[in-house]
């Protein structure tokens, strides 16, 4: 990993007990930055908080988040990852998604303002673009999200931009593509319950656990009929936060960037790579499309490189699958 000049700083990671959050904390600590985790532990895990203190706090609780920010007012950088993320759940329960994501973030922004904390790194998503025919996606393209999940993330982007314009909040919005893979040391990885993501579900099927993979849709307008995504290693996503912190130090005040590789990979290509890496077949059953899924999404990563100096180091597909498999074989006790 490259070296950053951030030694001695601190950052609050809201959602730091989650999959991406824990990798961000590890990457920060490796560069001498002290991570302080704020998490409600609804989806995150206490055992994933290994690199700093944690505060149990829910952003929906206005009083509690104001108190937590005030108690850490010397820490100027907030990294916001906490979010409801499961696309299908958002379609079933939008009230919960808007409350958790949008109202929760509004409380956090106000708490930051009251505490004088003026640097925010926000994890947004490629799902804010919606169904576009032109690929790769650049940051200036129209954002017209289809899913409730994408709509809540776009609403938050707009709130942050307003707080920049009117109150001087400095921000970097990172529009992640598909986070994948795990810490190469095998210490932390993806542990959602229930797990809805492709790579862990396909690995589970290869391991003979569960009933096999359900493949959501083979009639998309793509070369093999399955959806195309841009899979980016979670360590590279973590590094993007270090790039953003460094950019703040150099005077950056506001930007939004895609965090992807620029390479589109289909569901069937993921299955083939899993079979190659594990040496095991992936039993799967092709079924109907999943609500809210988009045909194809991949990034133009050139703005992230130009503005933040972001260059993926871990995101070769084979490495993504290998690191995920190392972590899951350990947690699933597969020898």
Q: What angle do CA 21, 189, 303 make, to 5 degrees?
A: 55
Site for ligand UDP contains 272 (CB under 6 A): no
Handedness of CA 40, 330, 195, 175 (dihedral sign): positive
> What is the smallest separation between the CB atom of 208 and ligand UDP, expressed in angstroms?
16
Q: How many residues bind ligand UDP (CB under 6 A)?
A: 15
Active-site amino acid positions: 149
Helix (H, G, I), strand (E, B) or coil at 321: helix
Question: Binding to ligand UDP (CB under 6 A): which residues in 133-192?
Answer: 178
272 φ/ψ angles, rounded to the nearest 5 degrees: -60, -40
Dihedral angle, C-alpha 295, 205, 91, 17, nearest 10 °: -110
- In the bound state, the residue with its beta carbon closest to ligand UDP is 227
- Binding span for ligand UDP by CB under 6 A among 53-61, 96-104, 195-203, 247-255: 195-203
Q: Which is closer to ligand UDP, CB of 33 or CB of 237?
A: 237
Question: Binding to ligand UDP (CB under 6 A): which residues in 27-86?
Answer: none
Site for ligand UDP contains 233 (CB under 6 A): no
> What is the smallest separation between the CB atom of 227 and ligand UDP, expressed in angstroms?
3
What radius of gyration, in Å, describes the C-alpha atoms of the chain? 19
Question: Binding to ligand UDP (CB under 6 A): which residues in 278-297?
Answer: 290, 293
What stretches of the chain adopt beta strand conformation (E)? 10-14, 34-39, 54-56, 77-80, 119-125, 170-176, 178-180, 213-216, 228-229, 231-233, 254-259, 265-266, 284-287
Q: Which is closer to ligand UDP, CB of 198 or CB of 277?
A: 198
> What is the smallest separation between the CB atom of 216 and ligand UDP, expressed in angstroms?
4
- Binding span for ligand UDP by CB under 6 A among 96-104, 161-169, 196-204, 252-260: 196-204
Q: Which is closer to ligand UDP, CB of 54 or CB of 226?
A: 226
Distance (Å, whole) CA 295 – CA 278 = 27
Nearest to 89 by CA among 192, 239, 166: 192
The footprint of ligand UDP (CB under 6 A) covers 87, 178, 196-198, 201, 213-216, 227, 229, 267, 290, 293
């Amino acid at each position: 990993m490259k070296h950053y000049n951030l030694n001695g700083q601190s950052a609050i990671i809201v959602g730091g007990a989650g999959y991406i959050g824990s990798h961000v904390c590890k990457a920060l600590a490796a560069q001498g930055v002290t991570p302080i985790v704020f998490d409600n532990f609804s989806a995150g895990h206490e055992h994933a908080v290994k690199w700093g203190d944690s505060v149990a706090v829910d952003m929906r609780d206005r009083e509690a988040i104001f108190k937590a920010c005030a108690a850490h007012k010397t820490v100027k950088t907030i990294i916001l990852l906490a979010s409801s993320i499961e696309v299908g759940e958002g379609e079933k329960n939008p009230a919960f998604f808007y409350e958790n994501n949008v109202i929760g973030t509004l409380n956090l922004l106000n708490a930051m303002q009251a505490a004088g904390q003026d640097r925010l790194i926000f994890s947004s998503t490629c799902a804010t673009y919606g169904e576009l025919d032109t690929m790769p996606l650049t940051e200036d393209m129209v954002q017209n999200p289809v899913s409730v999940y994408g709509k809540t993330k776009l609403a938050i982007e707009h709130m942050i931009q307003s707080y920049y314009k009117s109150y001087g909040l400095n921000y970097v919005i990172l529009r992640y593509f598909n986070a994948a893979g795990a810490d190469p040391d095998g210490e932390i990885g993806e542990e959602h319950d229930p797990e809805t993501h492709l790579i862990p579900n396909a690995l589970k099927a290869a391991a003979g656990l569960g009933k096999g993979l359900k493949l959501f849709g083979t009639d998309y307008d793509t070369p093999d009929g399955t959806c195309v995504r841009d899979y980016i290693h979670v360590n590279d996503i973590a590094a993007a936060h270090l790039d953003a912190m460094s950019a703040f130090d150099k005077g950056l005040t506001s930007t939004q960037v895609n965090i992807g590789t620029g390479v589109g990979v289909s569901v069937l290509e993921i299955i083939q790579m899993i079979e190659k890496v594990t040496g095991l077949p992936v039993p799967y059953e092709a079924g109907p499309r999943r609500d809210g899924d988009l045909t194809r999404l991949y990034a133009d990563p050139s703005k992230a490189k130009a503005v933040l100096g972001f260059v993926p180091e871990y995101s070769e597909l084979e490495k993504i699958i290998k690191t995920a498999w190392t972590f899951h074989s350990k947690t699933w006790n597969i020898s």
